[in-house]
Amino acid sequence: MLVLPSTLKIYNASAGSGKTTFLVINYLYVLLKSPYPDEFKRVLALTFTKKASEEMKNRILQCIKEFSNKKVKKEYCFLFDHITKNLGLTKYQLYQRSEKILFAILHDFFSFSKNISTIDKFTYNIIKSFLSDREINLEMDTNRFLLKVVDNVLYRLKNSEIWSNILIQSSLEKLKEGKNWDLRKELLKIAHIMVEENNFFFVKKIKNYSLEDFIQLKNIIIKRTKIFEKKCKKKGEKFFKFLEKNSIQKDSFIHLELPRFFQKLQNGNIFSNPFNERLEKYMKKETFYSQFFYDKNQKTLIEKNRKKILLLYEKTKSIYNKNISNYLLDKLFLKNINILSIIHEIEKEFHYIKNEKKIILNAELNKILYEKIIQGTFPRIYEKIGMQYKHYFIDEFQDVSFLQWQNIRILVENALSENGSAMIVGDPKQSIYRWRGGDAKQFIKLIYSKSNYYKKEIKTIEKNFRSYEEIVKFNNLLYQSISKTFNSTLYQDIYKNYKQKTCNKSGGYVEINFINDDNKNYKEYVYSNIKNKIEQLLKQKYTLSDIAILVRNNKEGHFLSEKLVKDGMIVNTSVSLLIKNQLEIQIIINFFHIIAYPHCYQKRVILILSLLKNKFIHTKINDHDFIMKILFLPLNLFLKKILFKNLLTLNKLYNKSIYNISEDIIEAFGLLNKQNSTYIYSFLDFVYRSTKRVGNSIIDFLDYWEYKKEKESIVISDHINAIRIMTIHKSKGLQFPVVLIPFTDWNIFSKKKEEIWIDVNPNFYSGLDSIYLEIETYFKHIKHDNNIRNFYEYYLSNMKFDNINLLYVATTRSIEQLILFCKHGNNKSISFYIKNFLCEKKIWNDKKCKYIFGR
């Protein structure tokens, strides 16, 4: 009997459309439709974050629990009746099924919990099942692991004559360009490139090239670039020799563009385009001199040699255009070829440490599984999983990476071919994780591509269940306006077709505040506005926990957190109140430095000044004389002078743990008080955790502190009444009654240099069909090379889409009020698109700084 393929259901779910509720309802349909109480064992639901998977589990359990009661609570009645009607069951039948399902889940909670998981955890469990014969641990801290790899590689390379020469040569080349070259930083960059999923296919090819291959390729490229440079120089010299031979003065030309053009070639200035529009215009018109030209003799000479000048120009232009594309790529690739040649050494150390410590990196899970599937060495487990799961739910598909989808796709297609079911939910407008593999295009491609394995049903969830009417209307208008600014028709359509319906929630309020960007204390000015706005909101009977402040980066979050705390506000922040910024913690760390490095007098000065300034110690003489009196004393005497009570001496520090020494320092200086207790206890918690990680060496502890200090923060409970401050990335999936976005003017095009892989002709690069380049801002001026220019425009288009998506995520978190603060910006600033929207609606006024929608 022929089994017809099932339908893959794809839902485009914009922000606030009740996506989690939608998934839960459909999950419940599968469970309650089946006559088997343990159907949950055959359902796999994959989410992007642990928090989302936990929320889904809780909601499903709560619904099943309520349905298994004969008296269903009022808030669950609608859902109960809805499912009953759609499944064609009586209320009693649904109650009975729910009771049996609940009983089955409670008796095998492990299976239920395991089958609602993050994609990463699901992948890890598959890999672990194949490595059951080996002890293996998952390493989550990729950066720390790679630092260890790099330090080991660096030590080895410096003791190798061949590599020392290569590294010195690379360093000199960077210095010649006026760049300060930090070798450790460069190696760490390459190590990250190796493990990042976006580079997987490119790095795989590069790994096949040995050091000798790279040296040979480098010599070929250098030879090729020199040949072209020599040709250009010869053409420049030929032009000026021609002028000299024919007694033509270079300043006889009406415009000096032509002599300047050949001068650039002669000087080797060929990287930036020596042609320009004016020169082309004059050469086409053959206008070499003015009709009012004063020197008849020179005029005659130029006229006599007109055809030869034109011919020389056209030949030069032909040679330039023919070779410039490869020349540019060669020169850009040469900047990175030395460091890329080290990839083998990093790879060797990478595998050595992994095998020694018996670990795999969380960052490489998808690659490991993908390679096993491609090699065909994992058919049994996939066959087993394929037989186990008949129903698939995948959430946040726009954040799923290419490899993740390839690893899951086989299972989904298998289930659909055997009359199973699959549902995918996503929103390309919320794709903000391109840097770690997520790509909205994959979701779009899935919608429009054809498949032989299944049919498709594509729907858009149009209702917004989160926000009040004025906020929904504002976002509809804003993003339809922004859609017109995209060059990419794909990105344009994503936003052009965006229009949500409200869900009977009238009201809502949107406020946009523009601040003059010539204000020198812009950040302080924004903060004072934020503070005033919070005070107004509290008068409107909102609580602190109703308010969320969304920022673009941690730096903005730290600034606002610290200011609000100083002004007596209670703040709960995912961007954290860093413990490193607390004076008392700085004193403890400086004390550790002095113990570890007794002759580090700079740290002694910093410690003494901190203690004196904040009255932790006192002196009868002036501060300068006190410092000079004790600064160069032996360590034991120095400690006696700053610790008048002699609570802490070197003898007392011996054989003590770092944790106990920390406690002794706190007690000796009286550092603990009510205001800083949270910071102190958070620091002690860090000390305790660090000793488990790096042991009891003060030097190792200080190294670990340097590595972790930008992330260690005080921990505040989610259940307290506090203003929440978080990055836009962290806010995804959340909602708040009031959202403030204080700095809605971030730069769309990052100033940080990014790297790309660009397709090339493998005949020119010893078989490599893609090479690694750093993106430079001058790419936009390269008009004579379509390959680089198109790639750069594609890169800018993606950057713009990512940042518009960030704005979209931020402006769709609010339920009742959305308040933005920004400064006037150019077309590189996100605020430009907000201003452009206001201009389009004909409500922009140069003298007006506040715009209000709703009441």
Provide Rg for the chain, Cα atoms: 33
Over residues 427-444, the mean pLDDT reads: 88
Q: What is the pLDDT of residues 550-591, one digit of tens each?
A: 999 988 998 998 899 888 888 888 665 778 888 899 999 999
Q: Residue 166's pLDDT is what? A: 75
**Which helix (H) or strand (E) segment is 833 a member of?**
helix 830-840
Beta strands 755-759 and 770-774, pairing class: antiparallel
> Which of the listed ranges 58-67, 123-132, 299-308, 613-622 does the model predict with the highest average pLDDT?
58-67
Query: Are 111 and 43 within 8 A, CB to CB?
Result: no
Residue with more model confidence, 780 or 371: 371
- CA–CA distance, 12 with 19 (Å, rounded to integer): 10
* Helical (H) or strand (E) element with 565: helix 554-566
Q: Which helix H or strand E contains 386, and what residues bound it?
A: helix 379-388
What is the pLDDT, as a whole number, of residue 90?
92
Of the pLDDT bands very low, low, confident and very high (cuts 50, 70, 90), residue 830 is: very high
- The per-residue pLDDT for 394 is 96
307: how many CB neighbours lie within 10 A of its CB? 9
DSSP string, 604-671: HHHHHHHHHHTTSS--SS-HHHHHHHHTTS-HHHHHHHH-TT----HHHHTT--HHHHHHHHHHHHT-
For residue 611, pLDDT beyond 80? yes
Q: Specify the pLDDT at position 765.
A: 93
Residue 329 · residue 788 · CB < 8 Å = yes
Find the helix or strand (DSSP H, E) in which 9 lies. strand 7-13
Structural tokens at position 149: 């790899």
Q: When comparing pLDDT for 282 and 527, which is higher?
A: 527
| Other Cβ atoms closer than 10 A to 164 | 12
The terminus-to-terminus CA distance of the chain in angstroms comes to: 64
Contact 779/788 with Cβ under 8 angstroms?
yes
Are 393 and 169 in contact, with CB atoms under 8 Å apart? no
Mean pLDDT for the chain?
86
For 318, other C-beta atoms within 10 Å of its C-beta total 10
Domain 7-134+378-461 belongs to what topology? Rossmann fold (3.40.50)
The model's confidence at residue 646, banded by pLDDT at 50, 70 and 90, is low
How far is the C-alpha of 173 from the C-alpha of 179, rounded, in Å?
Answer: 9
19-28: burial string, b at 16+ Cβ within 10 Å, e else:
bbebbbbbbb
Asked which of 274-283, 589-598, 632-641 is least confident by mean pLDDT, the reply is 274-283
Sign, CA torsion 750/755/759/761: positive
Q: Tell me the sheet residues that pair with 137.
A: 359
pLDDT tens string 726-779 = 999 999 989 999 999 999 999 998 777 777 888 889 999 999 999 988 887 777
Please list, in sequence order, all residues whose beta carbon lies within 8 angstroms of the beta carbon of residue 312, skipping any fewer than 6 positions away: 235, 238, 239, 242
* Mean per-residue pLDDT, 388-395: 94
Rounded CA-CA distance 471/817 in Å is 7
Instruction: State the pLDDT at residue 530.
Output: 96
The token pair that represents 379 in the structure block: 């058919």
Residue 139, H or E segment: strand 137-139
How far is Cα 76 from Cα 57, in angstroms, rounded to an integer?
A: 17
Identical fold at 7-134+378-461 and 579-708? no
User: Which pLDDT value is given to residue 177?
Assistant: 66
pTM to 2 decimals? 0.85
Q: Closest Cα to residue 280, out of 248, 239, 242, 317?
A: 317
| Least-confidence region, from 292-306, 669-683, 750-764, 793-807 | 292-306
Counting residues of the chain whose pLDDT is more than 70, the rounded percentage is 92
- As a whole number of angstroms, the distance between CA 462 and CA 784 comes to 46
Contact 280, 310 (CB under 8 A): no
Looking at the predicted structure, is the pLDDT value of residue 232 above 70?
A: yes
Q: What are the extents of the domains in the chain?
A: 7-134+378-461, 139-209+341-357, 218-338, 479-577+719-750+801-854, 579-708
Angle, helices 635-642 vs 601-613, to 10°: value is 10
Pairwise CA distance, residues 550 & 819, whole Å? 10
Q: Three-state secondary structure along 653-681? A: HCCCCHHHHHHHHHHHHCCCCCCCHHHHH
Residue 735 C-alpha from the chain's centroid:
22
- DSSP for 19-33? HHHHHHHHHHHHHHH
Q: Strands, E, within 339-432: which ranges?
A: 359-361, 391-394, 421-426
Query: Which CATH number among 3.30.2420, 1.10.1660, 1.10.486, 1.10.1060 corresponds to the domain 579-708?
Result: 1.10.486
Average pLDDT for 785-796? 80
- Dump strand ranges (E) for 728-789: 736-741, 755-759, 770-774
Nearest to 608 by CA among 583, 579, 587, 580: 587
Q: pLDDT for 126-175, tens place per residue?
A: 888 877 666 788 888 888 899 889 989 888 887 777 777 777 777 777 66
At residue 45, the 3 state secondary structure works out as strand
DSSP bridge partners of 459: 11
Query: Which of 650 and 224 is assigned the larger pLDDT?
Result: 224
Q: How far is CA 790 from each of CA 163, 274, 493, 773, 781, rounded to the nearest angstrom?
A: 36, 20, 21, 15, 12
**Residue-level pLDDT at 647:** 61
* Matching CATH number, 479-577+719-750+801-854, of 2.60.40.10, 1.10.287.180, 1.20.120.10, 3.40.50.300: 3.40.50.300
Strands 850-854 and 509-515, by their bridges, are antiparallel
- Span 281-321, pLDDT tens digits: 777 766 665 544 556 777 777 778 888 888 888 898 889 88
- Determine what percent of the chain is predicted with pLDDT higher than 90: 42
